[in-house]
Structures are given as structure tokens and as C-alpha cells.
Copies of this chain bind each other. A is one copy, B any other.
Amino acid sequence: MKFDLLTRDGSTRRGRLQLTHGVVETPTFMPVGTAATVKGLTPEEVREAHSQILLSNTYHLWLRPGREIIEQAGGLHRFMNWDGPILTDSGGFQVFSLQERRKLDEDGVTFKSHLDGSMHRFTPETVIAFEEALGVDIAMVLDVCVKLPASQAELEESVRLTTAWAKRAAAARAKPEATAVFAIMQGGLDERLRERSARDLVELDFPGYAIGGLSVGETREEMYHAARFSAALLPEDKPRYLMGVGTVKDIVMAVECGIDMFDCVYPTRCGRNGRAMTRAGEFHIKNATYTRDFTPLDPTCDCYVCTKYTRAYLSHLFRSDEMLGPRLLSYHNVYILNDLMREARTAIEQGSWASFRDRVLS
């Protein structure tokens, strides 16, 4: 893996990430393919919508279909027919969301599958081995993620254990040429803890760093503040990834904080639920006003959906519970978010970030 910071405009960064399966221009948005599929879309469509890298989930793939089947298929890329870069999260976030169904100890975490109640165990080593077996380009370390608000003791413990586990994950790497392992910073909204987390992880010299433990219950302002504070603690020459973000506004604010990578189910979940993302804002396609609206979802968008279909037709599909509706709207939402990232990259290159940001947020 190689990361080049090409240029900056204020605190924003324009970079290039070279991974085993291809090049990723940053800042970039990663659509989420939880179960080895970006819901409703083929990999060819994900690519056509200008996605450069996908995210998939260790937790879900571990449980179903499981490591053996993906390995027998020749790895995750061949299994799901996507030949571009893939990042897998470590499952930390999902496992800690299980609450009573998981038990944490110094060595790892034992949990009950939400699918069939079977017991499983993640350790820093088993998670890295799983991600390497999948053959992904970027593997996240197993972290201890805390929901906010949290006690000081919980936050301190999550930082301590996440760092200890990151060290073990780094030592467990067997394929560093193929799979780059990124560490995850914790610390909630506590600046002293964020500093400690960053310092200890940076010392371990990972090829990239994620800012974890945000977008988990705090306000937006708190999140922006913590993201900005955290990003500034990370080395300039390594990619920075803000996990679980998000909406157009959140992404723009995060780019402004000096972040390079984002992932979120937002565009595809909105797409399935009938929520259209456009340059003029969001709207719900099932609202009565769109049944006779023969304009495209977004007149400024040149995607397949906007060039071929009207709001009236999409409204009809959603009102009729037709599968094609969620499919087309998911495609458009991913496309327009990727388009926004492309515009953001151009704005940074041209030194016009501030006016781009103001235009998008207005």
C-alpha cells in the first residue's frame, strides 16, 4: 500500500491510495456491502456509479457464509464479483452493539450470533486472519467501541484495550504486502484520551488510521469537534478514515476536518426507503407531489436513473412496492455521493474548497 498526499487546501487533503486491487483517489466515499453485496446493486453498477472501493463486514461474513466458503470461492473479490479494492471493518462495532449477547475479556470477545444464537469468539489475531483469508485490501483491527454517553472508566478501558489489541493485530499480520492493516483510535469525546489513543497507535506505525467511536450517540457538533481534534493528532502522510459517516453534510464537514475516507449505509438505506439525495437537498419519492412530476430525480445529475426515468415513474415503483424502485434510487444516491466526492477533490486541487463547501451546505 502506498499513500500520497497530493495537495491541501486549508485543512482539507487531496490524496491517492494505491492498494492491491487498484487506486483510490481521496477524499473518497465507500459504499457498504455488508453481506458481500451493496444492497440491490451489481458490482458493475457500483463501479459505474464511480465507486472506487467497497466496505464489507467481518462480523456478518464470519457468521454467513463463513470463512471456509469465501476461501473456497477464491476470496471475497471472486465470491462477490468485485475486482476493485475492499476494506473490511473488524466487527468490533457490531459485536459491541450486541450488548448482553457478548462478553469481553482481556484476550478477546465472545458473542452470540444474532442469526442462530451460536457462540463465536473474536480475538485480534482471529479477526486479522479472517480478513487476510478474505484477501481484502484494507483490514481494520479489532477495537473496543463504546456507545456515547459513556463513563470515564469505560472510555479509558476501551482506549487501553484497543491499543493493546492493535499491537497484537500488527504482530499477527501474515500478508502485509496484500492486506494493509489500519488501526482505530478510540476515546469518545475526551481529548486527553484521544491524545493517548493517537500517540500509542501512531507509535506502532500502521499504514493508516481510523477515527472510531464517533457517530455513536453524540450530537453532530460534538462529532465534528472530536473528528477535527482527532484528525490533527494523526500523521500527515497516512490516510485517515472516519467510520460510519454519512450524510452529505457530515462528509463535507469531515473533509473539512482533514479526513480522507468515509463509509456509510446512508445512500443505500435511503435508496431502499424512498429517500432521494439531490444537489438541492433530500426528499421522499412517495410524497404525493411526485406522482405527476415528470422531471428527473436531480436535473443536474447525469446518472442512468436521472437520464432514463422521471420522479413520477420512481414514485409509481415505490407506491407499487416494486423492487426496481429501491434498486434505482440506491444507484442514484451512490452515484450522486460519489459525484460530490469527485467535485470535492477538484475543489481541493483548485484551491476552491471554501466556496465548494459553502455551496453544498447552503
Complex alpha-carbon distance, A42 and B328, angstroms: 9
Smallest distance from the beta carbon of A119 to chain B beta carbons, Å? 20
- A sample of 24 inter-chain contacts (CB < 8 A) reads A35-B320, A36-B316, A37-B317, A37-B322, A37-B324, A39-B324, A40-B323, A40-B324, A41-B324, A65-B312, A65-B316, A65-B319, A69-B291, A69-B316, A72-B294, A72-B312, A73-B310, A73-B312, A79-B310, A79-B312, A81-B309, A81-B313, A272-B323, A323-B327
Which residues of the other chain, B, contact A317 by a CB distance below 8 angstroms? Answer: 35, 37
Assess the A323–B320 pair: CB atoms within 8 A. Answer: no
Partner-B contacts on A (CB < 8 A): 35-37, 39-42, 64-65, 69, 72-73, 79-81, 272, 291-292, 294, 308-310, 312-313, 316-317, 319-320, 322-324, 326-328
Assess the A327–B40 pair: CB atoms within 8 A. Answer: yes
Smallest distance from the beta carbon of A340 to chain B beta carbons, Å? 24
Assess the A80–B313 pair: CB atoms within 8 A. Answer: yes
Smallest distance from the beta carbon of A57 to chain B beta carbons, Å? 11
Which residues of the other chain, B, contact A69 by a CB distance below 8 angstroms? Answer: 291-292, 312, 316
Assess the B72–A291 pair: CB atoms within 8 A. Answer: no
User: Closest B-chain residue to A60, C-beta based?
Assistant: B320
Complex alpha-carbon distance, A62 and B173, angstroms: 62
Smallest distance from the beta carbon of A39 to chain B beta carbons, Å? 6
Complex alpha-carbon distance, A35 and B313, angstroms: 11
Which residues of the other chain, B, contact A323 by a CB distance below 8 angstroms? Answer: 39-40, 272, 323, 326-327
Which residues of the other chain, B, contact A81 by a CB distance below 8 angstroms? Answer: 308-309, 313
Which residues of the other chain, B, contact A37 by a CB distance below 8 angstroms? Answer: 317, 320, 322, 324
Smallest distance from the beta carbon of A113 to chain B beta carbons, Å? 13
Smallest distance from the beta carbon of A38 to chain B beta carbons, Å? 8
User: Closest B-chain residue to A272, C-beta based?
Assistant: B323
Complex alpha-carbon distance, A79 and B36, angstroms: 33
Complex alpha-carbon distance, A323 and B35, angstroms: 11
Which residues of the other chain, B, contact A39 by a CB distance below 8 angstroms? Answer: 322-324
User: Closest B-chain residue to A79, C-beta based?
Assistant: B313
Which residues of the other chain, B, contact A320 by a CB distance below 8 angstroms? Answer: 35, 37, 64
Which residues of the other chain, B, contact A312 by a CB distance below 8 angstroms? Answer: 65, 69, 72-73, 79
Smallest distance from the beta carbon of A288 to chain B beta carbons, Å? 12
Interface centre among A42, A324, A326 (most CB of B within 10 A): A324
Assess the B322–A35 pair: CB atoms within 8 A. Answer: yes
Which residues of the other chain, B, contact A313 by a CB distance below 8 angstroms? Answer: 36, 73, 79-81
Assess the B64–A316 pair: CB atoms within 8 A. Answer: yes
Smallest distance from the beta carbon of A58 to chain B beta carbons, Å? 15
> Besides the contacts A64-B320, A72-B294, A73-B313, what 10 more A-B pairs have beta carbons closer than 8 Å?
A35-B317, A39-B323, A64-B316, A69-B316, A73-B310, A79-B312, A79-B313, A80-B313, A81-B308, A323-B326
Assess the B65–A291 pair: CB atoms within 8 A. Answer: yes
Complex alpha-carbon distance, A333 and B1, angstroms: 42
Complex alpha-carbon distance, A358 and B101, angstroms: 57
Complex alpha-carbon distance, A36 and B319, angstroms: 12
User: Closest B-chain residue to A324, C-beta based?
Assistant: B37
Assess the A64–B324 pair: CB atoms within 8 A. Answer: no
Smallest distance from the beta carbon of A42 to chain B beta carbons, Å? 7
Complex alpha-carbon distance, A273 and B272, angstroms: 20
Assess the A64–B319 pair: CB atoms within 8 A. Answer: yes
User: Closest B-chain residue to A326, C-beta based?
Assistant: B323
